[in-house]
């Protein structure tokens, strides 16, 4: 299934969107901890300005995933544009890099069902273990998994969304672990298969 281009998406208040991209030629886009922190600061800023709610995210060394709900009239796709236009300039200056940092424009998918939505959350959060960066998801600081399981009190999460879908944190832990064991995704997420 081809990836949806950002201009093929209908941006509608109340809908959920998966926004993602990777470094060109799979290069490392976050070489140091300060790079992750810079981007997290930009995300906080633009979520407010763009009237978006971050549901799940994961920043990985060579790619990122955002699952957002568009709460206002600003297109959700403005989030990666604003965050990474700024970041690319800072990265190029700091690392004497020239040329594009990312593999084309970000990708965007409308999340069309609750099943898709919940499976996407666990897929996003499972990335650091799935890709062999850590043994346990609790070790990865650059996602909101720790907020989902109640181990960190960060601001980049919709706590009501988590409570509504997983009132017991242990249910979400089990849900994510099930994916890590089985590595099965519903058909709606087939575009993520590598």
Asked whether residue 29 is domain-assigned, the answer is yes
Token pair, residue 177, equals: 């672990």
Using 50, 70 and 90 to split pLDDT, how confident is the model at 145?
Answer: very high
Range of the domain at 66: 6-192
Rounded Cα distance between 72 and 186, Å, is 29
Q: How many domains is the chain built from? A: 1
Q: Please state the rounded mean pLDDT for residues 84-89.
A: 93
Domain membership flag for residue 143:
yes
Query: What CATH code is carried by the domain that includes residue 21?
Result: 3.30.70.1290
162: in domain: yes
Instruction: Tell whether 149 is covered by a domain.
Output: yes
Residue 91 lies in a domain: yes
Q: Is residue 170 part of a domain?
A: yes
Q: Check whether 121 has a pLDDT greater than 50.
A: yes
Q: Is the pLDDT of residue 143 over 70?
A: yes
**Is 188:4 a contact under the CB 8 Å cutoff?**
no
**In-domain check, residue 187:** yes
Measured between its terminal Cα atoms, the distance across the chain in Å is 12
Q: Is residue 1, in this structure, part of any structural domain at all? A: no
HEC sequence for 10-57: CCCCCCEEEEEEEEHHHCCCCCCHHHHHHHHHHHHHHHHHHCEEEEEE
pLDDT of the residue at 8: 75
Instruction: Compute the distance between CA of residue 161 and CA of residue 144 in angstroms, rounded to an integer.
Output: 13
Per-residue model confidence (pLDDT) at position 1: 32
């Amino acid at each position: 299934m081809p990836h949806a281009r950002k201009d093929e998406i209908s941006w509608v208040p109340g809908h959920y969107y998966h926004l993602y991209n990777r470094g060109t030629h799979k290069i490392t886009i976050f070489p140091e901890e300060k790079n992750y922190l810079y981007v997290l600061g930009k995300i906080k800023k633009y979520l407010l300005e763009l009237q978006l709610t971050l549901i799940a995210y994961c920043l990985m060394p060579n790619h990122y995933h955002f699952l957002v709900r568009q709460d206002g009239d600003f297109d959700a796709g403005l989030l990666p544009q604003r965050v990474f236009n700024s970041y690319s300039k800072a990265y190029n200056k700091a690392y004497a890099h020239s040329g594009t940092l990312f593999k084309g424009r970000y990708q965007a998918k409308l999340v069309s069902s609750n099943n898709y939505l919940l499976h996407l959350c666990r897929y996003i959060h499972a990335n650091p273990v799935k890709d062999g960066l850590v043994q346990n998801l609790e070790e990865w600081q650059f996602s909101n998994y720790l907020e989902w399981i109640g181990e960190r009190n960060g601001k980049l999460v919709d706590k009501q969304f988590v409570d509504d879908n997983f009132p017991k944190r242990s249910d979400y832990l089990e849900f994510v672990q099930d994916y890590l064991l089985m590595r099965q995704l519903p058909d709606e997420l087939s575009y993520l298969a590598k």
